[in-house]
Amino acid sequence: MIAQNLHAVQARIADACVKAQRPLDAVTLLAVSKTFGPEAVQEAYAAGQTQFGENYIQEAVQKITALRHLPLQWHCIGPIQSNKTRVVAEHFDWVHTVDRLKIAQRLSEQRPSHLLPLQVCIQVNVDGGATKSGVAPQEALALAQQVATLPGLRLRGVMSIPEPATDFIAACAVFARVKAVFNALNAQGLALDTVSMGMSADMEAAVQSGSTMVRVGTAIFGGRTKPAA
Ligand SMILES: *Cc1c(COP(=O)(O)O)cnc(C)c1O
């Protein structure tokens, strides 16, 4: 089932790339395995998936540890409290949710020197949801420039989790704001390559709008019935 779902998602992404006149390899699929156990990750891996996204640090670390024998890349896509930065720096390959300098500094200091730099994205809030994390677009450049100087980190791009839009056109309009932030940072010389946006329901609009990494959970693993660990 997971293998079939994965192939269906890959086909959706490929179709969206064709429609957007983008190369088929322009978009990386991140499989969001939160709330699912290591067996589900293993099943996806057997079907060729190697990049996995997790929201809940504690739950993720158990999975990462259990699956250490597999060549997987783990992406932290959930909020990070200061007291969790060490375990994140020690276990993940990517962090998409850097939204303040203090978190980036801690990740930088705590990244073990024997590991590759932690690949990071700045989380941007383009639709102003008051309770949502992410920096305002006009604050993204200052944060990105500071993060780019930190040892142990490599700044790769921007990430966003907009509110679900009512239709394709509206979704594209919101995603375009994220892409505009990405373009503005690159115009300042940051050489970024990653726009992390799009989920199960809106990956086509995200690809149309320039996403380079879609984060897909439900369409691969099914509905989440369990609460977060
Ligand atoms: C859960 C989650 C996803 C995946 O969402 P689906 O709708 O299940 O595809 C993507 N990104 C983030 C940040 C998430 O928390």
d(CA 206, CA 102): 29
User: Does residue 217 have its Cβ closer than 6 Å to ligand 1?
Assistant: yes
Residue 98, SS3 per DSSP: strand
Percent of the chain past pLDDT 70, that is, above it, reads 97
d(CA 229, CA 6): 24
- Which pTM does this prediction carry? 0.97
pLDDT tens sequence across 36-81: 999 999 999 999 999 999 999 999 999 999 999 999 999 999 999 9
User: Does residue 203 have its Cβ closer than 6 Å to ligand 1?
Assistant: no
The torsion angle over the Cα atoms of residues 91, 58, 49 and 66, rounded to 10 degrees, is: 80
Could you tell me the distance, in angstroms and rounded to a whole number, from the CA of residue 199 to the centre of ligand 1? 6
Could you tell me the distance, in angstroms and rounded to a whole number, from the CA of residue 215 to the centre of ligand 1? 6
pLDDT tens sequence across 124-145: 999 986 567 899 999 999 999 9
User: Does residue 162 have its Cβ closer than 6 Å to ligand 1?
Assistant: no
Residue 174, SS3 per DSSP: helix
Q: If residue 118 lies in a helix (H) or strand (E), which one and from where to where?
A: strand 118-123
Could you tell me the distance, in angstroms and rounded to a whole number, from the CA of residue 124 to the centre of ligand 1? 16
pLDDT tens sequence across 82-137: 999 999 999 999 999 999 999 999 999 999 999 999 999 999 999 986 567 899 99
Could you tell me the distance, in angstroms and rounded to a whole number, from the CA of residue 228 to the centre of ligand 1? 13
The residue to mutate among 29, 35, 77, having the most atoms of ligand 1 within 8 angstroms of its beta carbon, is 77
**With left for phi above 0 and alpha for psi between -120 and 50, is residue 208 left, alpha or beta?**
alpha
